[in-house]
Structure 1
Amino acid sequence: MMQVETCRAQSLGQTERDLWRSFQAADASLASPYFSLGFLDAMAAVRRDTRVLVIREGSEIKGFLPFHKGALGHARPLGGPLSDHHGFIAAPGARFDLEAVLKAAGLKVFDFFGAIGTQAAFRDHAQLVDGSWVIDLSAGYDAWVETRSAVEPKAFRNLRARRRKLEEETASFKFRIQDERPEVLEKAMEWKSRQYRRTSHFDVFSVDWTRKLIDTLVKGGLDNASGLVSSLEVNGELAAAHVGMRSGTVLHYWFPVYDPEFSKLGPGLNLLTEIARTLSGEGLREIHLGPGEYDFKRELASWQFPLASGYVAAPSLLGAARQLAGQIEDAAERLPLGPISTLPGRAFRRIDRLTAFRVA
């Protein structure tokens, strides 16, 4: 008989934490820092709506589902819109009925937008299936370059050309894979905020808890999750930076940014490849680039793993409202109206994204 308990991260005891670690270690699809206890603890430190479902069969814990509990039983994945990957942290071979889990927990709606597509519980409720791009460094940096160069020779010729330009046309340059200077982190977030506003995207750093989350991750001391700030300086000036998050074996490529003044030198890609080169020698096996149809992701990535986006709605007023929104979106996108047909869906997703940044 399945039993589901909702608790705060701080309430997890040593037994639960040991099981969480063992579940993550046993499943390669959970190697991302998004699935680490450290990310859960960091989120709990900055958002009071952070919760965990503890799923038992009899007296045996079979899995965990971290999430944010919103108003009226509306749940969203841990990390909200900042979370590219989420899902169950579960025992090998465990399978769950997502509707049954949510019903047992008293949750009315669960929206997900980057669940691991190999988990049937989410795949069965997916409205959209996407993929997250992966740079595979498991055989080392040189092996990755050799393999991808054979597939994307032009892209890697361009990478080599940018590196030569950096070496030949600058008086000096310096990579810092772990840059602990607070002014670099502050500048990176300032640049990223400016980029969001310039491209008419929501500025995630305009929300207090997102900045606190980055600070918490960068300070370190967390369980298998830590912030990593990397930088490239050219002639003594900051040219590019990346704010990421890593576990023992996976770096999540999170917030890259560069100064357009140095764009001809390819500062962002030079920094990314140097991160890959350096960290591959320190046990890093993968860099997760996340979803999105960007040329650099397609050219550099070794493969993708599936992601599922959708929702589960239980019989309730909130569930009925969520189903109605989904039906309007689906109906509009089937109409032969060209780009206009996507407007309802984009509007709902924008509203949901803005709502997800609010702390209950």
Structure 2
Amino acid sequence: MVEVETCRASLLGSHERSAWSAFQGANPSLASPYFSLGFLDAVAQARRDTHIAVIREKGAITGFLPFHQGLLGYARPLGGPLGDHHGFIAPSDAQFDLRAVLRQAGLKVFDFSGALGTQAAFRPHAHFTDGSWVIDLSAGYEAWLAGRGAVEPKAFRNLRARRRKLEDETTSFVFRVHDDRPEVLAKALEWKSAQYVRTGHFDVFSVDWTRRLINALGVEGLENAQRLVSSLEIDGKLAAAHVGVRSGTVLHYWFPVYDPEFARVGPGLNLLLEIARELPAQGLKEIHLGPGEYDFKRELASWQFPLMSGYVAAPSLAGAARQLADNIQDAAERLPLGPISTLPGRAFRRIDRFTAFRAA
């Protein structure tokens, strides 16, 4: 008999935390920092609505599902829109009925946007599939460089040309893969906010909890999660920065940004390559670039792992509203109206993203 109880993340006991750590350590698909206790603890510091569904069978813990609980039983995965990957913290062979777990947890709607495609519980409820791009450094930087360079020779010739420009057209440059200077983090977030506004996207740093999360991840002692700020200075000026989060073996490429003044020398990509060059000596095996059809991800990535997006809705007011929004979107996209048919879907996604960030 499967039993599910929920608790606030801050109240997770030592026995449960030990089981969580054991599940993550034994399951390679959970190597991302997003699945760590450290990330859970940082998110719990930033958001009061962080909860855990603890799943037991015959009294033994078989898995966890972290989530944020909103109004009317509406729930989202850990980290909300900042959590690119999510799912059950459980052994690789674990089998769950997602709808049954949510029902016992008292949740009416669970909206997921980056669930692991390897977890069968999400498949019946998936409406969209995608993949997260991975730079595989398990054999070292030079092996990755040679392998991808053979597959994408033009792209890697361009990367080498940008490095030569950096060396030839600047007086000096300095890479710092570990840059703990507060002013660098502040400038990176300032630039990223401006970039969101300039490109018409929601500024994720306009809400307090996202900045609290970034700060919480910088605290020493988190289990298997740590903020990593990296930078490139050119001629004494900050040219590029990256704010990421890493576990022992995986870096999640999170918030890259650069000064357009230095665009000619490719500061962002040069910084990414320097990160990939240095970190394997510190145990890093993969850089997760996340989903998205960007040329640089396709060219640099060794492979992808599958992700799923969708929702589960129980009979309820929240469930009916979620189902209605989905029906409107589906009906509009079937109409022969060209690009106009996508407007309802785009509008719902913008509303959903806004409410997800404002939920905390």
Residue 134 of structure 2: aligned partner: 134
Residue 252 of structure 1: aligned partner: 252
TM score, norm. by length of structure 1: 0.99
Residue 224 of structure 1: aligned partner: 224
Residue 198 of structure 1: aligned partner: 198
Gaps of 5+ in 2: none
Q: CA deviation at 1:91?
A: 2.4
Q: CA deviation at 1:343?
A: 1.0
Q: CA deviation at 1:219?
A: 2.6
Q: CA deviation at 1:281?
A: 1.6
User: Quick one: distance in 1 between partners of 2:201 and 2:324?
Assistant: 26
- The answer to whether structure 1 residue 63 and structure 2 residue 57 are counterparts is no
User: Quick one: distance in 1 between partners of 2:3 and 2:336?
Assistant: 46
1:177-188 equivalences under 5 Å are 177-188=177-188
- The answer to whether structure 1 residue 314 and structure 2 residue 314 are counterparts is yes
After superposition, the C-alpha distances for 1:280-329 in whole angstroms (9 at most, x for unaligned) are: 12110000000000000000000000100000001112111111111111
1:156-175 equivalences under 5 Å are 156-175=156-175
Q: CA deviation at 1:82?
A: 0.5
The count of corresponding residues between Structure 1 and Structure 2 is 360
User: Quick one: distance in 1 between partners of 2:228 and 2:39?
Assistant: 13
Q: CA deviation at 1:340?
A: 1.1
User: Quick one: distance in 1 between partners of 2:92 and 2:82?
Assistant: 27
Residue 150 of structure 1: aligned partner: 150
Q: Is the 8 A contact 1:47 1:359 kept in 2?
A: no
Identity %: 76
Q: CA deviation at 1:172?
A: 0.6
User: Quick one: distance in 1 between partners of 2:100 and 2:118?
Assistant: 19
User: Quick one: distance in 2 between partners of 1:14 and 1:91?
Assistant: 19
After superposition, the C-alpha distances for 1:82-138 in whole angstroms (9 at most, x for unaligned) are: 110000001231110110100111100000000101111112211000010000000
User: Quick one: distance in 2 between partners of 1:227 and 1:46?
Assistant: 14
Amino acid paired to 1:39: F
Q: Is the 8 A contact 1:48 1:359 kept in 2?
A: no
1:5-84 equivalences under 5 Å are 5-84=5-84
User: Quick one: distance in 1 between partners of 2:281 and 2:355?
Assistant: 41
Residue 339 of structure 2: aligned partner: 339
Residue 237 of structure 2: aligned partner: 237
Amino acid paired to 1:132: S
User: Quick one: distance in 2 between partners of 1:329 and 1:8?
Assistant: 34
1:270-309 equivalences under 5 Å are 270-309=270-309
Q: Is the 8 A contact 1:54 1:61 kept in 2?
A: yes
Residue 210 of structure 1: aligned partner: 210
Q: CA deviation at 1:345?
A: 1.0
User: Quick one: distance in 2 between partners of 1:76 and 1:141?
Assistant: 36
Gaps of 5+ in 1: none
Of stretches 333-342 and 288-297 in structure 1, the one that deviates more from structure 2 is 333-342
Other structure's SS at 2:358 match: coil
Q: Is the 8 A contact 1:220 1:227 kept in 2?
A: no
Amino acid paired to 2:280: S
Other structure's SS at 1:106 match: coil
After superposition, the C-alpha distances for 1:37-84 in whole angstroms (9 at most, x for unaligned) are: 001000100100000000011201000000000001000011011110
Other structure's SS at 2:42 match: helix
- The answer to whether structure 1 residue 262 and structure 2 residue 284 are counterparts is no
Amino acid paired to 2:163: R
* Deviant stretches of 4+, over 6 Å: none
User: Quick one: distance in 1 between partners of 2:139 and 2:123?
Assistant: 30
Q: Is the 8 A contact 1:241 1:256 kept in 2?
A: yes
Amino acid paired to 2:10: Q
User: Quick one: distance in 2 between partners of 1:240 and 1:220?
Assistant: 25
User: Quick one: distance in 2 between partners of 1:123 and 1:167?
Assistant: 49
Amino acid paired to 1:235: D
Q: CA deviation at 1:359?
A: 3.7
CA RMSD of aligned residues (A): 0.8
Amino acid paired to 2:24: Q
Q: CA deviation at 1:358?
A: 2.1
Q: CA deviation at 1:352?
A: 1.1
User: Quick one: distance in 2 between partners of 1:314 and 1:207?
Assistant: 30
Amino acid paired to 1:325: A
Amino acid paired to 1:43: V
User: Quick one: distance in 1 between partners of 2:77 and 2:10?
Assistant: 18
- The answer to whether structure 1 residue 124 and structure 2 residue 124 are counterparts is yes
Q: Is the 8 A contact 1:134 1:287 kept in 2?
A: yes
User: Quick one: distance in 2 between partners of 1:248 and 1:321?
Assistant: 41
Other structure's SS at 1:281 match: helix
